[in-house]
Amino acid sequence: MELPFQHIDKDGLPKHIAIIMDGNGRWAKQQSKPRVFGHKNGVRAVRDVTEAAAELGIEYLTLYAFSKENWKRPQVEVDTLMKLFITTVSKELKTLNENNIRLEAIGDLDALPDDTLHALTYAIENTAHNDHMTLVLALNYSARWEIVETAKQLAGQVADGTSDVRDIDEELFESHLTTCGYPDPELLIRTSGESRVSNFLLWQISYSELIFTSTLWPDFTKADLYRAIAEYQRRERRFGMTSEQVTKS
């Protein structure tokens, strides 16, 4: 595929990109439309970015689709989001399989409405054989919830004697996170101009490169993704080391 930004190093791509898809409501307001209009138009950006990531060879793409805090929004907006999710997953299932993309999800999934969970489970099961890219949807997700649940699991294991508290380290903790088996995101993108991570993958993004763009999510295109990757590749990732140490390694 010919890239519009030739300075992207296709040998230095991040394995895992995470995106906070923000700005649907503001985009709709600019069009003098209700907020749900923005969510419906945001589906196009999801499709384009997923396609672009797969074409580039990104191994994992995680999208923050619905947070635990989002239940506080107006009921009509929440209901529309759940219905939109069902129709979108069903409509895009064929495309996911044609592009060899596996769908997975993280979050408190059992608390989703039954019909939403059913559609999600069906899509996950029917794309499980795909291995070109993994598309991870964060649904009813909260990083604080995830960390607390992990702590509860480990505490329970210590209480029943199946684990020793002295054996708890970062590796064991990570093995109980919902993202177990995924590499940590090297790149986190947030759209809409907000400069915060909003309770998303707090453990996993400890060393991620953070890129905040003013582009509202429905306007986010393949070109915007390429720009973010190009910016990521211009940065020096030191992981606590000095520049000299990185250069020598």
The residues annotated as belonging to the active site are 22, 70
- Distance CA(2)–CA(13), nearest Å, equals 15
Nearest CA to 204 out of 187, 192, 229 is that of 187
CA 173 from centroid of its chain's CA atoms: 20
Kind and range of the H or E run holding 139: strand 133-141
Q: Count CB-CB contacts under 10 A for residue 212.
A: 18
Tokens of 160: 């029943």
The structure tokens 């995101």 sit at: 185
- Distance CA(77)–CA(244), nearest Å, equals 51
Nearest CA to 102 out of 121, 130, 126, 125 is that of 130
* Coil, helix or strand at residue 28: helix
Kind and range of the H or E run holding 97: helix 75-98
